[in-house]
Amino acid sequence: MKAIKSKKLTPKKVATMAGAYFLAWFFVYPYINMFLTSVRTHDELYATPSTHLPQVWQWRNYIDVWSHAPIASFLKSSLIVSISATILVLLVSLPAAYFLARYKFKLRGAFLLLVLATQMFSPTALIIGIFREVDFFKLLDSYIALIVLNAGFNLAFSVWLLAGFFSSIPAEIEEAALIDGCTRIQALRKITIPIALPGVVTAIIFTFVAAWNEFTIALTIISSVDKKPLPVGLTQFIGQYDIAWEYLFASTIIAIIPVVILFISIEKYLVGGLTAGSVK
């Protein structure tokens, strides 16, 4: 506690910093290695002895990768699926969360329990059932199935997080707006949603990133190359005999950097949604 008050560097504080910086390095290191690999020449990758840093900084890899593999198409699929899933989650979770925060109804507890249980299920465990259901609707190899599934498995986070935000906004503010002649929807749109905006932004970013990173469902139900999102599309590199690691990692850097920045921007709220109903 004393550390907060004094700005002086005590030996203890220096030790803390050294430890913390080392660990920070450790957790970022694989991604630094990813970047360093992405700017090497192909020959250098397999040269012996290998080196820690690139001998030639081949920045061109970031241009060539677009013609080497269908990265643009993977990126397009990822964007279509992630953005649509995010919109669907918002459309479904906003009213549900608002209602949960404001009203009591029969089976409210059961509904909350169901939402919470949903969050705990991963698509992996249910993948055979999911595959057969998608087949039943004749939606194998379609974006729509991927969008709905991604939305469904990430719904719980938004419902819990937004319900928490809505319930922190006094109902009196809305009621005042109603008295002033607003409709309920207007009151929501003009007053409640703007106040709950940090929650809405967090829900948007979390859902987008989760859908962006989803692997198992896409691997299972998407078969056309031009519909594969990034994580699935990029695994094609792995199966090749002479893996083009430099292009693979140029692609993964392109895929990872934006979502890390997005996650950092909602750092404060992440834990609340993920440990819904438990950590206050």
Partner 1 sequence: MLAKSSATKVKNQVASHDVSLVSALPWIGPALILIILVVIWPVIELVRISFTDISAAGSLLDFNGLTNYRELLANPDIYPVARRTLLWVFGIVFFTVILSLPMAQLINQNFPGRKYVRWALIFPWAASVVMTSMIWTWILDAYSGELNLTLTQLGLISEPVDWINNPGSSFYFLMAVAVFVSIPFTSFVLLAGLQSIPNDIIEAASVDGATNWQIYRRIKFPLLRNSLLIATIINLINVFNSFPIIWIMTRGGPGYDTDTTTTLAYKLAFIESNMGQSTALGVFNFIVIMMIVGLYLRVTKATRTEI
Among positions 142-171, residues that touch partner 1 (CB under 8 A) are 148-149, 151-153, 155, 159-160, 163-165, 167-168, 170-171
- CA 82 to chain CA centroid, Å, is 9
Does position 185 interact with partner 1 (CB under 8 A)? The reply is no
Q: How far apart are the first and last CA of the chain?
A: 23
Q: Which residues contact 153 (CB under 8 A, 6 or more apart)?
A: 118, 121, 122, 123, 210
The residue among 181 and 280 lying less far from partner 1, judged by its C-beta, is: 280
Does position 204 interact with partner 1 (CB under 8 A)? The reply is no
| Element holding 43 (H helix, E strand) | helix 42-45
With contacts defined by CB under 8 A, name the span among 57-65, 69-77, 124-132, 184-192 that binds partner 1: 124-132
The residue among 84 and 160 lying less far from partner 1, judged by its C-beta, is: 160
C-beta of 64: minimal distance to partner 1 in Å?
19
The C-alpha torsion from 210 through 214 and 218 to 219, rounded to 10°, is 180
With contact defined as beta carbons under 8 Å apart, do 153 and 122 qualify?
Answer: yes
Does position 270 interact with partner 1 (CB under 8 A)? The reply is yes
C-beta of 122: minimal distance to partner 1 in Å?
4
Site pattern 20..49 for partner 1 (x: CB under 8 A): xx-xxx-xx-xx-xx--x-------xx-xx
> What is the phi-psi region of residue 104: left when phi exceeds 0, alpha when psi lies from -120 to 50, beta otherwise?
beta
C-beta of 268: minimal distance to partner 1 in Å?
8
> Shortest CA distance to 88 belongs to which of 204, 215, 1, 227?
204
Say which residue the tokens 């694989």 belong to. Answer: 30
Contacts to partner 1 from residues 101-120, by CB under 8 A: 101-108, 111-118, 120
Binds partner 1 by CB under 8 A, chosen from 16, 67, 186, 224? 16
Contacts to partner 1 from residues 60-89, by CB under 8 A: 88
CB atoms within 10 A of CB 189: 12
Binds partner 1 by CB under 8 A, chosen from 177, 200, 203, 209? 209
Specify the 3-state DSSP secondary structure of 231. Answer: helix
The residue among 179 and 279 lying less far from partner 1, judged by its C-beta, is: 279
How far is Cα 71 from Cα 79, in angstroms, rounded to an integer? 12
Contacts to partner 1 from residues 235-264, by CB under 8 A: 235, 238, 245, 248-249, 252, 255-256, 259-260, 262-264
Longest CA–CA separation in the chain, Å: 77
C-beta of 63: minimal distance to partner 1 in Å?
20
C-beta of 181: minimal distance to partner 1 in Å?
21
